[in-house]
Amino acid sequence: MSHRVSILSSHLSPVMASEKEAALAATPSDSPTIFDKIISKEIPSTVVFEDDKVLAFRDITPQGPVHILLIPKVRDGLTGLSKAEERHIDILGRLLYTAKLVAKQEGLDEGFRIVINDGPQGCQSVYHIHVHLIGGRQMNWPPG
């Protein structure tokens, strides 16, 4: 390992490292995900928005003062953005519009970031499409 890589590795937070490890270990499947269990209320969550199509709840490992996950209540084969088909256009738009509504509800008038991780290199660890709404702090560019 080069000295530069060693220095960079030593500055990664345990959460970042474990998220990356989880993403690399995750495999897409049709089996129920943790999000399916949150939708069915088998696993508790702090819900901030819910309608017949979308559930939004606070992330348990927030990356900002506000970090909310928005998920479709029905997966319909939409495990990640790269798996989207024309039939998913409505729910994809609904997720983004709902993110805007929740951002306003959360007082993120100065801005926010939307993130959709896709696949192992995109650090996706749950194969049920989800939108991260992150705000309440100054974001940097480029992202990690």
CATH of the domain at 80: 3.30.428.10
State what percent of residues in the chain have pLDDT above 90.
Answer: 76
Residue 16 lies in a domain: no
User: Quick one: pLDDT at residue 42?
Assistant: 97
- Does 126 have pLDDT greater than 90? yes
Residue 128 lies in a domain: yes
Average pLDDT, rounded, for the chain:
88
- Does 86 have pLDDT greater than 50? yes
- Does 28 have pLDDT greater than 90? no
- Does 123 have pLDDT greater than 80? yes
The parent domain of residue 101 ranges over 32-135
Q: How many domains, the chain?
A: 1
Q: What CA–CA distance (Å, rounded) separates 35 from 38?
A: 5
User: Quick one: pLDDT at residue 7?
Assistant: 28
Residue 54 lies in a domain: yes
Considering 3, 88, 128, 130, which one is annotated as catalytic?
Answer: 130
- Cα distances (angstroms) measured from residue 132 to each of 24, 91, 118: 19, 15, 12
Name residue 47's beta-bridge partners. Answer: 57
> Mean pLDDT across the stretch 110-134?
97
Active site residue 130: yes
User: Quick one: pLDDT at residue 17?
Assistant: 58
> Mean pLDDT across the stretch 98-117?
98
- Tell me the pTM: 0.84
> Mean pLDDT across the stretch 98-125?
97
